[in-house]
Structure 1
Amino acid sequence: MTSSTYHIEKLLHGGLGLGRNEDKQKMLIEGVISGETVAAKIQSLKKNRNTAVATSIIEPSSERIKAPCQYYKQCGGCDFQHMNYPRQLQEKQAILKDLLQQSGNTILQEAATQILNAPLPSPSQTHYRQRIRLQVDNKQTLGFHKRRSHDCVAIESCLLATPKINDCLQKLLPQYAFNKLLNQTETVEILFDPDSSTVTLLIQFKRKPRPADKQHAQDLINTISELTNIFFIGDGFSVTGNASLSFTLPPLVPHTTKTVQLSLETGGFCQVNVEQNTNLVKTVLDFCAVTKKDTILDLFCGMGNFSIPLAERSQSVLGIEGQGSAIRSAIRNSSNAGQDNTIFKKQPIHAACSELAKAGSLFDCIILDPPRQGAPGLARVLSALCRKRLVYISCDPVTLCRDLEDLLQYGFVIKKLQPIDMFPQTHHIETVALLETA
């Protein structure tokens, strides 16, 4: 298909640019910046979704830069590398603002212009990830998926990974034992423990590991000094061994010097940007504004990223999470912090909230940190459980807008919206919302 010239009106959720040509035809184009004019070749024409690939930048933005990663345009990640960091933050705020304004809800539309803050920048824009997951394709290529493909781009280092992860990866690649393991591997997760400066591998295996596989793993541990553990996971068998990763939050309680160490079991979830996670926790604590008289309900509590610091400031914390390993980690983290005012329960969130509401439970503050799909259908019961305020931590602006609209219908009032850039070089944005009861 021939190329056409498009003016980029704005970037949409997902990072693609909305462009129009002289015939007003809409096109979604990757690798562009709002306000640019580009020549693009049509890739596909589908109902409500026409896509094209930019072939040249006719009128570039002054904030366009050369992407710093050698795998850019091959690897499927890091889709904002072509703009400088201030512009990345500006585009992310604009995307969130646009979604709020397009919601059709007048309160959300007002929030977009009146209370939506500029994103909190990340202390580091590269080498901030303490964990990466590499794919292995059917050609035994280890790397990240290519754009719109299940084939992998072979990588030797990742711009976003900590130097220790990249060092370990480069030492692994030529090892005979590692390449033998790749024969039966689907993914390799490399995890850096910032407290011990060591690296762990979590290998998703196609079958139960055999003695020879375990010996290959031990050979790698013996050869690479920073590599201290290798674990196998897969269908039909559980994680072999019992290791954890840990990181320390700085003093978060006013007028104290007490740090909080958090750890999680191998394979558990934590924020990958440890430096920015500290700012995320501080923001949540500020929004909660709890006192020693307040009771807290932490939903999707994980290993206690918010629960443990909040327990230092409040009367009590009830944390609920559906994943057993996360609850075990939360209990251990609270115990290690010397806390006796926390309870952690493994239970589906919707069922747990319904039980609490039926029992007449009330909490001064509720923390809601759901996965990407958000928390549909929870607004009504949350309104019955919440006495003062609700703090919603979202990793997806679309589901955030949907859930905020639901919460507004049940009497909550939006007071603050603070985007936090957990993922520089990508279109992803975290948002913390403060809501209060009417």
Structure 2
Amino acid sequence: MAGSPPPVRTVARSDPTPIPLDILDLSHDGRGVARWPAGHAHAGKTVFVAGALPGERVLARQTARSRSFDEAATVEVLQASPDRVPPRCPHFGTCGGCALQHLAEDRQIHAKQRVLLENLERIGKVVPGEVLPPLTDAAWGYRRKGRFSVRRVEKKDRTVVGFREQDPRFVADLSECHTVIPRIGTRIAALAALIDGLKARREIPQVEFIAGDDTVALVFRHLAPLDEADRAALVAFAREHDFAVFLQPGGVDSVHPLWPQDPQLAFTLPEWNVVLHFRPLDFIQVNRGLNEKMIARALALLEPQADERVLDLFCGLGNFTLPLARLAREVVGVEGDAGLVRRARENAAHNALGNVEFHAADLAQDLGGHPWMRGGFDRLLLDPPRSGADGVLRQLSLKGLKRIVYVSCHPGSLARDAGFLVHERGWTLRAAGVMDMFPHTAHVESIALFEPGRG
């Protein structure tokens, strides 16, 4: 894939006349990359084309213009790529939840692998010794956590519920979603009808959903108090569709159950005999099947031994930490969210794991005062946010570590940190690969293995 355009653009007046374009590449956000042809006022300038694939010739209409690139949308495919497939979802092309449904599933993951390898080479100036086989799982009905936007549209005289459109000013009017778990994805229209019947329908801006093994929860954000009739309607909907319903009148800490009284949210990692309990707004990995495969690969790459001490940074609820505790002598998990740390400790106790401890720390700040920083470790696993792990890696003593496994949700920050480990700390990038946590989107999840020495 070629480089993506910057996230912020300057939009100027666009030419509405459709123009034939030859698509040269695929951008990091899933759009085709072309150049305006000879004779165009901006001939040679890069244009990103929504709905187009490499090797295609399309008729495209310009939608936005900026100094360094233009944007366009496909009006008609004149010559299709052999990798093009019919999108399953009727909302594809409008809804911003997916970017790659028109690309064959086996080609999507290879495109994401290109993103990772290009970032490693371009940003980090590193090449992995081995490219790991891509990890994939179910491509449909996998999304167990997400957020729907809600908007009352007076022109339609109804409430729409969905993800943001490709133009994020608007909410996609969804009737269904094939990437969301079926218990949610098939009930979006019913959810919209529910909200539209509430007195507070204009006061509900979003509904979050999250699923454990047995319970699916909906969290209704509301900007004004709900009267008894509205609360009763929500309870009736929950009973009918077997949902747990939570209300959120304010910040994250205001979330509380409406029905049932004490719903339990949890998922199992059967290979390690671990159960993880969570709250409805907690971070959990979106794709259950891929998450289990990811943990298995991370632990296989890390190779923790029964007499060793392991550090797990950005540990969250203990998604990696608790399986690690089944294998190592001692595991230390560190996380910036104090609420997640509390629940990680509860999960350790629930699973009767006495060889694991959790600490709260902002891993982007000065960590010199934290006692766990002075402890010796044999192996390191880290799963940072999109910003990466630059701050903690520059402070952490890597002496004595035998392996580092880095799980990443952003190939650019992984590439930057890989360059630091290799070129400034003297480590070797032994292996790297991609994992399709979000099929049909341009999101790239990846994993990398580092070992001491330059090989």
What residue is the counterpart of 1:31 in the other structure?
A: 51
Q: Per-residue deviation at 1:243?
A: 4.3
Pairing partner for 1:414 from 425, 429, 454? 429
Residue 77 in 1 paired to residue 97 in 2? yes
What residue is the counterpart of 2:169 in the other structure?
A: 150
SS at match of 1:400: helix
What residue is the counterpart of 1:120 in the other structure?
A: 135
Pairing partner for 1:342 from 356, 372, 395? 356
What residue is the counterpart of 1:260 in the other structure?
A: 274
What residue is the counterpart of 1:226 in the other structure?
A: 242
Query: Which stretches in structure 2 are left out of the alignment for 5+ residues?
Result: 1-14, 39-43, 154-158
Q: In the TM superposition, what whole-angstrom CA distance separates every residue of 1:78-134 from its partner, at most 9, and x where no partner exists?
A: 11000111111121112222223322x54x1x33xx523342122x11111112311
Q: In the TM superposition, what whole-angstrom CA distance separates every residue of 1:140-189 from its partner, at most 9, and x where no partner exists?
A: 42222111232212212211111111344444343378633432111101
Q: Which has the higher strand share?
A: 1
Whether the aligned pair in 2 keeps the contact of 1:393 and 1:431 (CA below 8 Å) is yes
Q: Per-residue deviation at 1:56?
A: 2.1
What residue is the counterpart of 2:218 in the other structure?
A: 201
Q: Per-residue deviation at 1:220?
A: 2.9
Residue 426 in 1 paired to residue 441 in 2? yes
Q: In the TM superposition, what whole-angstrom CA distance separates every residue of 1:34-91 from its partner, at most 9, and x where no partner exists?
A: 2222232222221222212122222211110111101011101211000111111121
Letter in 2 for 1:183: R
Whether the aligned pair in 1 keeps the contact of 2:161 and 2:188 (CA below 8 Å) is no
Q: What is the TM-score of this pair, normalised by structure 2?
A: 0.86
Pairing partner for 2:80 from 60, 63, 86? 60
Q: For 2:267 and 2:22, locate their aligned partners in 1 and report how far apart those are by CA, in whole Å.
A: 46
Return closer, same or farther for 1:328/1:72 CA change in 2, 3 Å cut-off. same
Pairing partner for 1:381 from 395, 412, 424? 395
Residue 403 in 1 paired to residue 422 in 2? no
Q: In the TM superposition, what whole-angstrom CA distance separates every residue of 1:312-336 from its partner, at most 9, and x where no partner exists?
A: 0001111111112211221121112
SS at match of 1:363: coil
Whether the aligned pair in 1 keeps the contact of 2:21 and 2:59 (CA below 8 Å) is yes
Q: Per-residue deviation at 1:135?
A: 0.1
Whether the aligned pair in 2 keeps the contact of 1:11 and 1:18 (CA below 8 Å) is yes
Whether the aligned pair in 1 keeps the contact of 2:316 and 2:340 (CA below 8 Å) is yes
Q: Per-residue deviation at 1:352?
A: 7.2
Q: In the TM superposition, what whole-angstrom CA distance separates every residue of 1:401-423 from its partner, at most 9, and x where no partner exists?
A: 12211222222221110210001
Whether the aligned pair in 2 keeps the contact of 1:199 and 1:228 (CA below 8 Å) is yes
Whether the aligned pair in 1 keeps the contact of 2:49 and 2:74 (CA below 8 Å) is yes
RMSD: 2.4
Residue 180 in 1 paired to residue 199 in 2? yes
Letter in 1 for 2:97: G
What residue is the counterpart of 1:315 in the other structure?
A: 329
Q: For 1:358 and 1:282, locate their aligned partners in 2 and report how far apart those are by CA, in whole Å.
A: 26
Q: For 1:75 and 1:350, locate their aligned partners in 2 and report how far apart those are by CA, in whole Å.
A: 34
Q: For 2:197 and 2:319, locate their aligned partners in 1 and report how far apart those are by CA, in whole Å.
A: 34
SS at match of 1:71: coil
Q: For 1:152 and 1:323, locate their aligned partners in 2 and report how far apart those are by CA, in whole Å.
A: 30
SS at match of 2:368: helix
Count of residue correspondences = 423
Counting aligned pairs with the same residue, the percent is 28
Q: For 1:48 and 1:394, locate their aligned partners in 2 and report how far apart those are by CA, in whole Å.
A: 29
What residue is the counterpart of 1:256 in the other structure?
A: none
SS at match of 2:349: helix
Residue 46 in 1 paired to residue 66 in 2? yes
Return closer, same or farther for 1:363/1:208 CA change in 2, 3 Å cut-off. farther
Q: For 1:75 and 1:359, locate their aligned partners in 2 and report how far apart those are by CA, in whole Å.
A: 45
SS at match of 2:312: strand
What residue is the counterpart of 1:354 in the other structure?
A: 368
Return closer, same or farther for 1:314/1:233 CA change in 2, 3 Å cut-off. farther
Letter in 2 for 1:79: A
Return closer, same or farther for 1:310/1:361 CA change in 2, 3 Å cut-off. same
Q: Per-residue deviation at 1:32?
A: 1.9
Q: For 1:209 and 1:402, locate their aligned partners in 2 and report how far apart those are by CA, in whole Å.
A: 48
Letter in 2 for 1:205: H
Q: For 1:297 and 1:95, locate their aligned partners in 2 and report how far apart those are by CA, in whole Å.
A: 29
SS at match of 1:174: helix
Q: What is the TM-score of this pair, normalised by structure 1?
A: 0.89
1:273-288 aligned within 5 A: 273-288=287-302
Q: For 2:252 and 2:121, locate their aligned partners in 1 and report how far apart those are by CA, in whole Å.
A: 47
Larger CA deviation: 162-171 vs 423-432: 162-171
Whether the aligned pair in 1 keeps the contact of 2:161 and 2:191 (CA below 8 Å) is no
Return closer, same or farther for 1:208/1:388 CA change in 2, 3 Å cut-off. farther
